[in-house]
Amino acid sequence: MIDKNDKLDITIVGAGVIGCAVAYELGRCGAAVRVLESRDVGLGATQASAGVLAPYIEAHHPGPLRALGLRSLDMYDAFVADVVADSGKVVPYERTGTLEVATDDASLTRLEQTRQGLASAGVACRMLSQTEARVAEPHLGESVRGALLLPSQGFVGAAALTAALRRAGARHGVSFLTSHAASRLSVADGEIEIETAQGTVTSDAVVLAAGSWTGRVAVAGGAPLPVRPVRGQLLRLLWPGTRLARVIWSSLCYVVPWHDGSVLVGATVEEVGFDEGATVAGVTSLLDGVGNLLPATRDAGFDEVRVGLRPGTPDDLPIVGWSSAVPHLVYATGHYRNGVLLAPLTARLVADLVLDGRIDPLLEAVAPGRFDAS
């Protein structure tokens, strides 16, 4: 926590869903907030996110990632309601559940183990036989062997949410400076200086939320964090049949049904550095996967392929908290596959930390200090 009698002046570096959520939360709590973004809002991992909110799928076993995901999912109804009210924008958001589909013996066994673990923890879920799965979702192909229905999960429009966060933040006085790349942070006279091509900005605190590009911002006195880009290609198809009832997930791909008649099909996971290009191999693998899962997609229209770079970390956990090496610097990065899911919680954890000095027990697992002198 930074002690100051006046309004705290905070700069967020990065305007993906995490940077925008943190900016909105700090802005509505009364801080003076500016966001610096090297390109435009929501162009990193966020623009290629299908917006699936599925902590039980992203973390098949209990642990810090599942705990973070569940806390954040619990916040989602209120978070979206607040952002919609403050922005006046529509944010597509549904909690119609997920159907995780097994197409072979090994995944069927794993799903049954997951069901047992969830049932013993009191989580509502149901294992469906092949016939039951195809009744629940008639578009499923014959490759389906069984499926786990989890009614509490859902999805949100990531781009719409980020745009609404920007507008809502602006209503609380947050300024967004796009095409402003931060190149270096350093501490001087109890403040933190941020160098950009347009000049140096000074703040009481900086929240570094630059996702895959975190390491491109030099931090005087701090070691670079091990955040790396992990490419995801995502397809938007024009769905030809009756709307799918919910998110369908399998080891081949996942599919998110939207009210406008489109589906998003994701996503590749590729270690190719900062290459944001789409590839024939990536698109083909997704089309093959979804064609096998939902044969009707063979008649779908092909609208577009989106590409994003997820910020991966060595332990697949985000990095959230005060820098252990550099005063006035907070990290909110490395959310890998879960930036959209974890946005409400990350925003709250950062606001509590910076404005009130409150250290949530969940922060222990995601502390920057676990990576040397960060």
**Applying CB under 6 A, which residues contact ligand GLY?**
52, 232, 266-267, 310, 337
CB 41, min distance to ligand GLY, A: 19
Q: Which is nearer to ligand GLY, 228 or 337 (CB)?
A: 337
CB 180, min distance to ligand GLY, A: 27
> Rounded distance, CA 350 to CA 291, Å?
42
Q: Which is nearer to ligand GLY, 49 or 114 (CB)?
A: 49
> Rounded distance, CA 3 to CA 180, Å?
28
**Reduced to 3 states, what is the DSSP secondary structure of residue 196?**
strand
318 close to 68: Cβ distance less than 8 angstroms: yes
> Rounded distance, CA 3 to CA 9, Å?
12
Q: Which is nearer to ligand GLY, 27 or 344 (CB)?
A: 344
Q: Which is nearer to ligand GLY, 48 or 208 (CB)?
A: 48
For residue 312, what are the β-bridge partners?
Answer: 228
CB 274, min distance to ligand GLY, A: 17
CB 52, min distance to ligand GLY, A: 6
What letter represents residue 201's amino acid?
V
> Rounded distance, CA 221 to CA 208, Å?
15
CA dihedral 157, 160, 161, 167 (to 10 degrees): -170
CB 310, min distance to ligand GLY, A: 5
Residue linked to tokens 């006035």: 328
205 close to 354: Cβ distance less than 8 angstroms: yes
> Rounded distance, CA 127 to CA 149, Å?
6
For residue 94, what are the β-bridge partners?
Answer: 155
CB 252, min distance to ligand GLY, A: 13
Q: Which is nearer to ligand GLY, 52 or 353 (CB)?
A: 52
CB 232, min distance to ligand GLY, A: 5
Q: How far from 110 is each of 148, 200, 247, CA to CA, in Å? A: 10, 53, 19
CB 337, min distance to ligand GLY, A: 3
* Residue 44 burial class via C-beta count within 10 angstroms: exposed 0-12, middle 13-18, buried 19 and up: buried
Q: Which is nearer to ligand GLY, 234 or 353 (CB)?
A: 234
16 close to 46: Cβ distance less than 8 angstroms: yes
What letter represents residue 358's amino acid?
R
User: Both tokens of residue 281?
Assistant: 């191999």
Q: Which is nearer to ligand GLY, 33 or 287 (CB)?
A: 287
Q: Which is nearer to ligand GLY, 192 or 230 (CB)?
A: 230
Q: Which is nearer to ligand GLY, 236 or 310 (CB)?
A: 310
Q: Which of 233, 231, 292 is nearest to 265 (CA)?
A: 233
CB 268, min distance to ligand GLY, A: 8
